[in-house]
Amino acid sequence: MREFIFKANKTITSSNINLKDLPGSCGRLDLVCRCVSDSLFLSHDIRRDVIFYSILYGPPNPPIAIKFVGNELKKVSPDERNIAIFIKKAIKKFEELSEEEKKYWNESTPGIYVRRIDFKDLVLEKINEGKNIYYLHKNGKDVYEVKIKNPVFILGDHIGLTKEDEEFLEDKAIKISLSPLELHANHCIVIIHNILDRLEYGI
């Protein structure tokens, strides 16, 4: 199983999503949608061994975490607008829950869940599940020098993780680098998939 956690610092936490302006009024929701697409979709198929989390920290009601489970998804397509529609549905579902219900994963549509949990607590949950945490950063150890096993990959948006986040991850994650250059988060996901696919197929 491959898992990704993407921290979206400015992405809207209201179901009042303008589908015609994902980058602007929605706090770069377009980036979230691209990461969802590149983590889960193949040509004419879905990666069923992937779980993707995005934790939204924009106004007015952060944080909200949305989980996409590859082997459960139905009727989701890879384009940004379609994914944004499903995110809108997830946040709408969240808004209808009681404060107690928000503490747990609630399914909004098949394979998509929503919950109130912050970045640090989600990482700690993954560690308690026995996962290995890999923080993708250009100044990390070269990915080809790291044996990746049972992974959860941490990615930041165009703003990146905060200093506090990085200090939190210091003794919990292996920092790995895919390139000496700053890459888009969704491009990092594609590269990671390619590396792991080649290993899996013995290439």
- Domain 2-200 of CATH type 3.30.230.10: no
Binding residue numbers = 136, 156, 178-183, 188
Low-confidence stretches of the chain (pLDDT beneath 50)? none
Report which of 196, 197, 184, 193 is spatially closest to residue 33, judged by C-alpha positions.
184
In the chain, which ranges are continuous DSSP H helix?
29-40, 80-95, 119-128, 163-169, 185-200
> CA 107 to CA 72: how far, in whole Å?
11
Binding residue numbers for S-adenosyl-L-methionine = 136, 156, 178-183, 188
pLDDT reported for residue 34 = 98
pLDDT digits (tens, 9 = 90+) for 114-148: 999 999 999 999 999 999 999 999 999 999 999 99
Its pTM stands at 0.97
